[in-house]
Structure 1
Amino acid sequence: MGELRIKRAYEKPAPDDGCRVLVDRLWPRGVSKERAQLEEWMKDIAPSPALRTWWNHDPARLDDFAARYTAELDANDAVADIRALIGAHPVVTLVYAARDPRINHAAVLRDYLVRTA
């Protein structure tokens, strides 16, 4: 497995980002396709709408959210797709729109992918 990073969609893309993959179900507001510089948009790897609504990025619910999202990922066919992408590139950057760089689903997804590799 290559290097797996996360980065906000609102940060400027960098040459060392490698393959940039949007992992949000919704497109980030105010970010053009040109500015995003994505190779993929994997909506299906994002948390379900019901889980995202329940969590509402509440830091107090992060542990419960991570457990529920992990359960969703265990049953999600898109995990195989993202693993194939990771295997094909030395660096993959998971792009997300959330404000907090530590409390977001992309961090949970990255940790899941590394832990279950």
Structure 2
Amino acid sequence: MKDIILKRVYDAKTNDETYRILIDRLWPRGMKSEDLEFDEWNKEIAPSQELRKWFAHKEERYEEFSRLYLEELKTKTEEVKRLQNIAKEKPLTLLYAAKDPIINHAVILKSFLQKEK
């Protein structure tokens, strides 16, 4: 598997030749579609609406959020496999809007994609 890179949508794009996937269910606040360079917007791999609202980026809920999101990912086998196949061919950039670079669903998804066979 090639590299999987995590990048905040608000950070400047680098010429990295990666396949760039927006992995948020909602469009990033304040971002114009023409300002975001991406290859795909994958809402399905994002946490469910209910889970996203419950988590609300509260650090004290992150452990439980991680567990619940992993359970959701285990039900999305076709989509997970598709992303893994892309990552076998070229580096993958997972784009997210969360402010915290450590406590967010992109970190969980990256780990899951790298571990699942």
Q: TM-score range by the shorter chain?
A: over 0.9
What is the distance in 2 between the residues matched to 1:21 and 1:34? Answer: 15
Check whether the contact 1:9–1:95 (CA below 8 A) recurs between aligned residues.
yes
Say whether 1:115 aligns with 2:115. Answer: yes
What is the distance in 2 between the residues matched to 1:36 and 1:16? Answer: 15
What is the distance in 1 between the residues matched to 2:115 and 2:79? Answer: 17
- Residue equivalent to 2:48: 48
What is the distance in 2 between the residues matched to 1:48 and 1:98? Answer: 15
- What is the correspondence of 1:1-117 to structure 2 with a 5 Å cutoff? 1-16=1-16, 18-76=18-76, 77-89=78-90, 91-117=91-117
TM-score of the pair, normalised by structure 2: 0.92
Letter in 1 for 2:26: L
Overall identity of the aligned pairs, in %: 39
TM-score of the pair, normalised by structure 1: 0.92
Root mean square deviation of aligned Cα: 1.3
Residue 31 of structure 2 aligns to a residue whose secondary structure is coil
Check whether the contact 1:17–1:93 (CA below 8 A) recurs between aligned residues.
no
Structure 2: gaps spanning 5 or more residues: none
Structure 1: gaps spanning 5 or more residues: none
What is the distance in 2 between the residues matched to 1:82 and 1:42? Answer: 10
